[in-house]
Structure 1
Amino acid sequence: MKHITFFERFEADILSGKKVITLRDESEKDYEVGDVVAVSTLEHGRRFCHVRIDGVTQVRFDALTALHAEQENMTLAQLKQVIQEIYPGIEQLYMLKFSLMTDVI
């Protein structure tokens, strides 16, 4: 099973279904539609759910929109700031669209 990590601050949004995408760099783009992925916190490695990958698409940083921000449960300004903190100067991102799975242990 594949694995992905998120900062702990995003856990509640993922579990509530408010965060349904994540934007990653090229090193974290190797997911395919239908993959079931174990999700853990980056800080402590605590597994807290599983998600199914529903889409993987390229998106340029300068093409991010309010819709991307809404799917991340933040404003566009917040989204751009977070991305720049994690990936300074990045131009090309990969959007992983996902759904929370409730039937995987």
Structure 2
Amino acid sequence: MCCLSIECQIFIKKIIMKTLKDMTFFERFEADILCGKKVITIRDESESHYQVGSVVDVSTFETGRYFCQLRILSVEPIAFSSLDEDHAKQENMTLPELKSVIQNIYPGIERLFVITYERLA
């Protein structure tokens, strides 16, 4: 079994802690987040690690440009097939739009997570 040096362990821990404090969104969602029309995000399991009550720095996926902070209110599992009009409304989309966006980002993934947040001033 390979043992990691203390330096490697610290480096990995720093990367993990940074990841827990950051969230990215496509630029096209920025305005809706900033004006409060988009109050949830739907992610796959690899992006479901956010802790309720934590504050995350938010930036654009495309360029990494910071644009706000969010407080995580809840992280709940959901099946793609269970997405409904309420989820679409919270994403500021129609249900067909929401399902299309999710399928484009996470093709073929059924197990997802609804992350509810509030924007901090």
Q: If the TM-score is normalised by the length of the shorter chain, which range does it land in?
A: over 0.9
Pick the structure with more helix per residue: 2
Indicate whether 1:36 and 2:55 are aligned.
Answer: yes
The Cα of 1:32 is off from its aligned counterpart by 1.2
Name the residue aligned to 1:11. 30
Show structure 2 runs of 5+ residues with no match: 1-17
Name the residue aligned to 2:105. 86
CA distance in structure 2 between the partners assigned to 1:56 and 1:99 by the alignment = 13
Q: CA RMSD in A?
A: 0.7
* TM-score computed with the length of structure 2 as normaliser: 0.83
Show structure 1 runs of 5+ residues with no match: none
CA distance in structure 2 between the partners assigned to 1:3 and 1:96 by the alignment = 14
CA distance in structure 2 between the partners assigned to 1:64 and 1:91 by the alignment = 10
Pick the structure with more strand per residue: 1
Aligned with 1:78: secondary structure? Answer: helix
Runs of 4+ in 1 over 3 A off after TM superposition: none
Aligned with 1:85: secondary structure? Answer: helix
Aligned with 2:86: secondary structure? Answer: helix
Map 1:22-33; keep pairs closer than 5 Å: 22-33=41-52
> How many residues are matched?
102
* Paired amino acid for 1:100: R
